[in-house]
Amino acid sequence: MPEGDSVWRAAAQLHAALAGHQLTASDFRVPRFATLKLAGWTVDEVVPRGKHLLMRLRSPAEERLTIHSHLKMEGAWQVYPPGGRWRKPGFTARCVLRTATADAVGFSLGILEVVRTADEDSVVGHLGPDLLGPDWDMEEAERRLRAAPEVPIGVALLDQRNLAGIGNIYRCEACFLSGIHPAAPVSDVTDLPAMMATAKQLLEANLGPGRRTTVLNPRGMPVGRMAGRPGYWVYRREHQPCLKCGTPIRHGVLATQAGTEERDIYWCPSCQPPPAGTD
Ligand SMILES: [Zn+2]
């Protein structure tokens, strides 16, 4: 599952390649939009909204449409020179957009739909404040989190209706850096703004190409270089020593709010004591 920073980078790359350019061809390889042709439309901008991508287009007659996509687990947008050879199998392509200077191809997209730009709220209006958005609103995000004080913080941080942009990696890392067990209820977290600020820092530190080390370990070294992993304190480091205290990192699962899905959590049992009544 991509985090907000991956989506932000994808949007920046697509915006650089497409914005201001007229489409010479479009090919939507999903039944609902298979007959839609956007040749002649101009891409105005590509913006991230949480983990959603919005490509806003304008027709010569000033009609406005938005291509809404979500990468979900496997999705990716890639930009090629015109006619360039794709690096992913053609049968996974869901959307192909061509301009005179670039081909943008969306592969294995979890969501692909086209809506009137005026109706964008119908697809992303449910999202909470966007950690990487220009209108990030910490108070509103805290209000939404506090509205369900009994929910485990690790679940609440992933719920994009509370705040948008955090995926599994950064919820684990933000909980660790805040000294909070992911299963602890929201009501146990006294300083939610500090925790959200930490998550925002982690996301912002990774807006460059490739997700890299975001934090330094206590010796001031990039964590990834020491641990042979891309710079995480706890994520996928089970059984390895905590970089702060040496205690072996633990691994477990935490069910999402609807109880329909379990996601991995990683924590240090001594830096992040479990909430009362749990292991
Ligand atoms: Zn520790």
Distance 182 CA to ligand 1 centre (A): 14
CATH topology classification for 4-124: N-terminal domain of MutM-like DNA repair proteins (3.20.190)
For 38-69, give one letter per residue: b (16+ CB within 10 A) or e.
beebbbbbbbbbbbbbbbbbbeeeeeebbbbb
Dump pLDDT digits (tens) for 45-55.
999 998 899 99
Kindly state the average pLDDT of the residues 22-43.
97
Which of 9, 49, 51, 98 is labelled catalytic?
A: 51
pLDDT exceeds 80 at position 44? yes
Distance 207 CA to ligand 1 centre (A): 27
Share of the chain above pLDDT 90, in %: 73
pLDDT exceeds 80 at position 1? no
What does the pLDDT read at residue 51? 87
Distance 169 CA to ligand 1 centre (A): 17
In the chain, CATH 3.20.190.10 covers 4-124
What does the pLDDT read at residue 61? 96
Dump pLDDT digits (tens) for 85-129.
999 999 999 999 999 999 999 999 999 999 999 999 999 999 999
Active site residue 3: yes
What does the pLDDT read at residue 154? 95
Residue 104 CA to residue 17 CA, distance in Å, equals 8
Dump pLDDT digits (tens) for 203-249.
887 776 554 434 444 444 444 434 444 578 899 999 999 989 999 99
- Choose which CATH entry (3.10.20.600, 3.40.350.10, 1.10.8.50, 2.130.10.10) describes domain 138-267: 1.10.8.50
pLDDT exceeds 60 at position 167? yes
pTM of the model: 0.82
Residue 244 CA to residue 55 CA, distance in Å, equals 42
Active site residue 200: no
Sign of CA dihedral 42, 81, 96, 207: negative
For 227-244, give one letter per residue: b (16+ CB within 10 A) or e.
beebbbbbbebeeeebbb
- Please state, in angstroms and as integers, the Cα–Cα distance from residue 268 to each residue in 131, 143, 243, following that order: 25, 28, 9
Distance 247 CA to ligand 1 centre (A): 5
Active site residue 263: yes
What does the pLDDT read at residue 57? 98
pLDDT exceeds 80 at position 82? yes
Distance 234 CA to ligand 1 centre (A): 9
Q: Specify the higher pLDDT residue, 276 or 249.
A: 249
pLDDT exceeds 60 at position 149? yes
Distance 31 CA to ligand 1 centre (A): 50
What does the pLDDT read at residue 242? 93
What does the pLDDT read at residue 105? 97
What does the pLDDT read at residue 6? 83
Share of the chain above pLDDT 70, in %: 89
Q: Specify the higher pLDDT residue, 179 or 229.
A: 179
Distance 117 CA to ligand 1 centre (A): 47
What does the pLDDT read at residue 255? 83
In the chain, CATH 1.10.8.50 covers 138-267
Kindly state the average pLDDT of the residues 15-19.
97
- Sorted by sequence, the CB contacts under 8 Å of residue 10 that are 6+ apart come out as 2, 48, 53, 71, 76, 77
Which of 29, 58, 146, 263 is labelled catalytic?
A: 263
What does the pLDDT read at residue 223? 46
Mean pLDDT of the chain: 89
Asked if 208 contacts 6 with a C-beta cutoff of 8 angstroms, the reply is no
